[in-house]
Amino acid sequence: MKTYKSYLFDLDGTVYHGNEPIVSAIHFINKLANSHIPYGFVTNNSTRSPKQVAKRLNGMGILAEPWQIMTSSVATASYLQAKMPHSALYIIGEEGLFEALAAFAQTEDKPDAVVIGLDRAITHEKLSKAARFVANGAALIATNPDAMITTESGLVVGNGALVAAVAYATKTEPIVIGKPGAAIVEAAIKQLKLDPRHTVFVGDNYDTDLLAGIHAGIDTIHVQTGITTDLSAYKIQPTYSIPSLDDWPI
């Protein structure tokens, strides 16, 4: 087993299950903190701000500060700053996305890009505005491609479904930022000033977490505490697969 200099963690299924902390992960992360080994968290959730996510982790006994949290909204802001820094946006989303994109102008008059994050107050009018702007040439940018997500109120459609509606209406392929894309991992590495050669991505879900790490070209550790239980079908294997973080020495 390789010794890594820094760690990135998925959240749900890796660090907690809904409101239940995963004890092995909590222990491991706090050992990293005590040993001054850098770590961060990478989440497709676009609705919460890094501050809100950090507060939630703190409430579970995990040492985490907002700058250690890379949400798909912050990664989207990072992408836009790099690729279209002076663009005016039409935004569909919740607090976490609007906060992340606060530095950009917003307009309903020929926006350069339509950015869509999960919006549980989505309306036909918002979708129609987005589609009209994209049909008129605006880029279509998705914070993440989640199909369905687990929330306090059960399984609900994720952001990918809202984006699919606009993509279908406009026959346009969206630019997708979150996992399993590399952009969100790259944004975390940049924000935390990590060396990708010595950084490992820890996650439970092959199709999102491990693929995101693989796409970003960094090592991956599969923890068998969440969604993916059988890796045999996958052509590209994670670097390691372990029952839980109790089985990983720092």
Is residue 207 annotated as part of the catalytic site, yes or no? Answer: no
Among 45, 78, 170, 199, binds a copy of itself (CB under 8 A): 170
Q: Does residue 197 interact with a copy of itself by CB under 8 A?
A: no
Is residue 10 annotated as part of the catalytic site, yes or no? Answer: yes
Pick the piece of the chain touching a copy of itself (CB under 8 A) from 22-30, 164-172, 188-196, 211-219: 164-172
String of contacts with a copy of itself for each residue 113-132, x by CB under 8 A: ------xxxxxxx-xx--xx
Pick the piece of the chain touching a copy of itself (CB under 8 A) from 32-40, 162-170, 202-210, 241-249: 162-170
Helix axes 183-191, 72-83, angle to 10 degrees: 90
Identity of the residue, 107 or 128, whose beta carbon is nearer to a copy of itself in the bound complex:
128
Q: Left if phi > 0, otherwise alpha if psi is -120 to 50, otherwise beta: which for 154?
A: left
Q: Which helix (H) or strand (E) holds 42?
A: strand 39-43
CB 22 within 8 A of CB 28: no
CB 141 within 8 A of CB 114: yes
Q: In angstroms, rounded to a whole number, what is the distance separating the alpha carbons of residues 192 and 61?
A: 21
Binding site for a copy of itself (CB under 8 A): 119-125, 127-128, 131-132, 135, 147-148, 154-158, 160-162, 164-171
**Which residues does the annotation mark as catalytic?**
10, 12
